[in-house]
């Protein structure tokens, strides 16, 4: 199988027929074999029935239907798990992503990239979404060092080995380029067309920005310290204890010289820093113990084999 199109959807019944038709047309023109994997993430608007009907007309369709809404990451994760194509393309179901970009994405992958992320340079979304998103992309770019503009674009193409190597859970789908880059894959970017939402409504509210921030912390942590939490917590613990130690040493000298130190704010600061330091250390050690007790086989990924 050449191409898998993976489409997560939540209540997008009005778009599905048009989306399928346009996607099928684009790939048929390329003369490639393909499948469209729809992951129905707990829709309640009859999306599943529509997919069932579409399947009769388009045998390339496969559908997974979740028992309830589990979120876009879960949907993508299941789609990635069952996708059979050499190249896997994700797109939103709401027709905001343009199917005519599919051939261009395929071309980019074929020219050597492992992941190509869409960039909605000209974006048709409400301002309460575009401005936070700009900010967000900026922060992510700075903290991860990856020079792409639109981390959260739904339209992305992957070489199949990339998605098979990355576990997607929580809401980490926003950071797939970061995770792929960290594993050493070649990540690129392509400017794509973006349309306003025609039917239905956006499924993500303002909450996404808080969650997105927490997820960024998670990604930074797991990409850098997943296998060595003590390197981070030990460092913070040592720093804090060291500072506390100096303060207490200084106060001890004063005490021996006959000064009272029990009421000084500095005394409490010193004690606090010592305690916090020990706690950081302990967290790091517990982290190391967790790593030791679980299966570590996913520490590396393999790019190619010559047998
Ligand atoms: N989606 C999903 N599960 C969810 C939320 C969204 O499968 O819990 C799908 C949704 O149907 C759409 C895609 O994810 O196909 C992107 O969602 P949406 O268009 O609402 O996000 P936005 O374009 O506003 O960022
Ligand atoms: Mg959308």
- In sequence order, which residues have a C-beta less than 8 Å from that of residue 49 and are 6 or more positions away? none
Atom of ligand 1 nearest to the CA of 42: 3
What is the pLDDT averaged over residues 121-126?
A: 90
Check pocket membership of 96 for ligand 1, CB cut-off 6 A: yes
E-assigned strand segments in the chain: 3-9, 34-40, 61-65, 87-90, 115-119, 156-159, 187-191
Atom of ligand 1 nearest to the CA of 152: 25
Check pocket membership of 94 for ligand 1, CB cut-off 6 A: yes
Q: Is it the case that residue 158 has pLDDT exceeding 60?
A: yes
CATH of domain 3-224: 3.90.550.10
**CA 9 / ligand 1 centre spacing (Å):** 6
Count of other CB atoms within 10 angstroms of residue 13: 19
CA of 70: how far to CAs of 66, 82, 92, 174, 284, in Å?
Answer: 7, 17, 16, 16, 31
Minimum CA distance residue for ligand 1 atom 13:
92
Tokens of residue 206, six digits: 């303002």
**Helices vs strands, H then E, count in the chain:** 10, 7
**CA 91 / ligand 1 centre spacing (Å):** 10
* pLDDT, tens only, 251-296: 999 999 999 998 999 999 999 999 999 999 999 999 999 888 876 6
pLDDT for the residue 296: 61
What is the pLDDT averaged over residues 128-138?
A: 89
Q: What is the CA radius of gyration of the chain?
A: 25
Helix axes 207-225, 127-144, angle to 10 degrees: 10
* pLDDT, tens only, 12-36: 999 999 999 999 999 999 999 999 9
Per the model's pLDDT, the better-predicted residue between 208 and 223 turns out to be 223
pLDDT for the residue 82: 95
CA of 137: how far to CAs of 37, 89, 280, in Å?
Answer: 28, 21, 30
Check pocket membership of 8 for ligand 1, CB cut-off 6 A: yes
Per-domain residue ranges of the chain: 3-224, 229-293
Whole-angstrom distance, CA of residue 22 vs CA of residue 20:
6
- In sequence order, which residues have a C-beta less than 8 Å from that of residue 159 and are 6 or more positions away? 86, 87, 88, 109, 113, 114, 115, 185
* pLDDT, tens only, 210-250: 888 888 898 899 888 888 899 999 999 999 999 999 999 99
Check pocket membership of 74 for ligand 1, CB cut-off 6 A: no
pLDDT for the residue 127: 86
């Amino acid at each position: 199988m050449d191409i898998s199109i993976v489409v997560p959807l939540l209540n997008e019944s009005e778009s599905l027929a048009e989306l399928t038709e346009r996607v099928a047309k684009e790939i048929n023109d390329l003369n490639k074999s393909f499948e469209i994997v729809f992951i129905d993430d707990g829709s309640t608007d009859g999306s599943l029935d529509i997919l069932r009907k579409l399947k009769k007309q388009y045998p390339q369709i496969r559908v997974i239907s979740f028992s309830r809404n589990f979120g876009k990451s879960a949907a993508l994760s299941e789609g990635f798990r069952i996708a059979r194509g050499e190249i896997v393309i994700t797109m939103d179901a709401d027709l905001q992503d343009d199917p005519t970009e599919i051939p261009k994405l395929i071309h980019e992958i074929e020219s050597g990239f492992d992941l190509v992320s869409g960039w909605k340079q000209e974006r048709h979304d409400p301002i309460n979404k575009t401005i936070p998103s700009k900010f967000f992309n900026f922060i992510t770019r700075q903290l991860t060092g990856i020079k792409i503009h639109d981390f959260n674009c739904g339209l992305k193409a992957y070489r199949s080995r990339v998605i098979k190597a990355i576990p997607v859970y929580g809401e980490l789908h926003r950071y797939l380029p970061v995770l792929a880059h960290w594993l050493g894959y070649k990540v690129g970017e392509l400017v794509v067309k973006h349309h306003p939402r025609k039917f239905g409504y956006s499924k993500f509210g303002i909450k996404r920005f808080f969650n997105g921030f927490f997820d960024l912390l998670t990604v930074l942590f797991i990409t850098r310290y997943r296998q060595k939490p003590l390197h981070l917590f030990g460092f913070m613990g040592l720093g804090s204890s060291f500072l506390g130690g100096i303060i207490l040493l200084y106060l001890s000298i004063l005490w021996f010289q006959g000064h009272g130190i029990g009421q000084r704010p500095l005394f409490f600061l010193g004690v606090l820093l010592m305690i916090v330091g020990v706690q950081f250390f302990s967290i790091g050690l517990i982290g190391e113990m967790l790593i030791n007790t679980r299966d570590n086989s996913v520490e590396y990924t393999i790019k190619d084999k010559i047998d």
